[in-house]
Structure 1
Amino acid sequence: MEVETCTDVMDPARAAAFQVALGGPASIVAGAPLPPFFHQLYFWSPQPPEGLGRDGHPRVGGGLIPDMGLPRRMWAGGRLRWHNPLIAGQIAERRSTLESATRKEGRTGPLAFVTLRHEIRQGDTLCLTEWQDLVYREDPDPQAPRPVPPRARTDEASRREQGFDSTRLFRYSALTFNGHRIHYDLDYARDVEGYGGLVVHGPLLAQHLMLMAEDEIGPLSEFSFRATAPLMHHERATFCRNGADLWVRGPDGRQCMQARAET
């Protein structure tokens, strides 16, 4: 099984900058535990321009992810299991493997499903295991009917609202070294991939849900999430929780993400 290994010093300044970008105070210093999902800020894999696909992501087929012949990439969901806290300012190693890659026929055409598994260690200590689910699709058919997203629950015990403008999306893309053009290139997002605006990063929605869960029910041991409909940069989202269930509701009542937290 092919393994890709990447090391990084978990720079506390980058984590503190992300805290500010999320609208909070910068409190992370060297030696402090990182909040859940902040490892997304690290383990960059920069590629030269010729190593990128049309969407700004690293071109598939040259690393762990095979070329499935489908151009549109989406982070469909994931699962995380924390074993020990990740500590800011310490070297960490991420070992990544391709767990599965399959191609199927869906109602809207061919789909490819890819699952990556990441294990992150500091020293000899396993801190985090993460499963990342990606979906690849064909370009949209302008004549095809739009898929109907699921309706979100309305029985939340707690809720938080958040807007996402283009500056917020740009800063998250910069901090995570995410070159996907659907998050900052409006013409590309609209004219090539068929979205109604800039797409709010799925991991950014999941990040807000994780921080909400940790604030309200305590330190997380596991967290799983699944994206069910895109949220655009001009829309406000409602982050909802009822017990261990969490979800993101769009302004029209559609469900954009569902998740479950375990403490």
Structure 2
Amino acid sequence: MHPAQGKTRTTRDLMDPARAAALHATLALAGAPPGPGDPLPPFFHQAHFWDARPPADLGRDGHPAIGDFIPDLGLPRRMWAGGRLAFHAPLRAGIPADRTTTIQAVSQKQGRTGPLAFVTLRHDIAQNGQLCVTEHQDLVYRQDPAAGAPRPAPPQAPAEGAEETPLAFSPTLLFRYSALTFNGHRIHYDRDYARGVEGYAGLVVHGPLLAQLMMLHAARRGPLTGFTFRAHAPMMDTEPATLCAAGPRLWIRGPDNRLCMMAEAIH
């Protein structure tokens, strides 16, 4: 077992309704945003519990440097690979909440493109002493891409019939979502860094933003009790995308039919 496993820390957030209102506007949602005491839409807690660090505490990618809470596993590129959520009770705007984060697992293996490291974080979020959300966050770390190295072929999206909703992204949307979630990762707003250092074709759409859109879509069918999602291929800001839904399954499809993210909603 890695020595970092079992480490915990707790963060308190006032759950400012202004952040929920800003995220509501950023996502162009219909109706009034949540006010004080109102339940937050699922996954809106991403706009809270900021980990604000001074510049000296950041890594090259703009995230808090590894080696403090999350261990340094010798691999520079960080990605949010997926997650699992259980919704026990609604989180409400304007009521202080506590998030306890535990490093649940740390592992390393050899992948098709080189060494990989995986870190699973468990977040337990409570208000007024009641557990409201349990979230498992899967992070993956990898090497920088080798110059000229071929990329593995991404998986293809399911061929089954599905309800389809077109999606479009822009640098403004990515910037606003980064600001609201206090996500400093440069792949989402620094095109030169995304291309020149991490080898992407453009600005990368946040995995949590894709998951957020799928959760909101699924929640229109009724309250969610759980949600799982897994990233399979990056989505660029210049690409049109399609949100597909067939029963409890949802996925994001790229313009070349590649599977960018797969999810399952539990009602």
Structure-1-length-normalised TM-score? 0.98
Among residues 231, 234, 241, which one is paired with 2:238 in the alignment?
A: 234
By how many angstroms is 1:55 displaced?
0.2
In the alignment, what sits opposite 2:95? 90
The 10-residue stretch of structure 1 (155-164 or 131-140) with the greater mean CA deviation from structure 2: 155-164
CA shift at 1:69, angstroms? 0.3
Superposition deviation, residue 142 in structure 1: 1.8
Give the 4+ runs in structure 1 shifted more than 4 A: none
* Segment of structure 1 superposing worse, 148-157 or 240-249: 148-157
Matches within 5 A, 1:1-263: 1-25=6-30, 26-63=32-69, 65-215=70-220, 217-263=221-267
User: SS at the partner of 1:207?
Assistant: helix
RMSD: 0.8
Give me the whole-angstrom Cα distance separating, in 2, the residues matched to 1:124 and 1:191.
47
Q: Distance in 2 between matches of 1:22 and 1:138?
A: 33
Structure 2 gaps of 5+ residues are: 1-5
> 1:7-63 CA distances to partner (integer Å, 9 max, x unpaired)?
001111110111111012442100110000000000001111110000000001111
* Structure 2: distance between partners of 1:154 and 1:246: 13
Q: Following TM superposition, by how much is the alpha carbon of 1:159 offset from its aligned partner in structure 2, in angstroms?
A: 1.4
Q: In the comparison of the two structures, how many residue pairs are matched?
A: 261
CA distance in 2, matches of 1:124, 1:18: 26
CA distance in 1, matches of 2:205, 2:33: 25
Residues in 2 aligned to 1:21 and 1:27: alpha-carbon distance in whole angstroms: 11
Provide closer, same or farther for how the CA distance between residues 32 and 156 of structure 1 changes in structure 2, counting only shifts above 3 A. farther
What one-letter code is carried by the residue in structure 2 that aligns with 1:45?
Answer: D
Q: TM-score under structure 2 normalisation?
A: 0.96
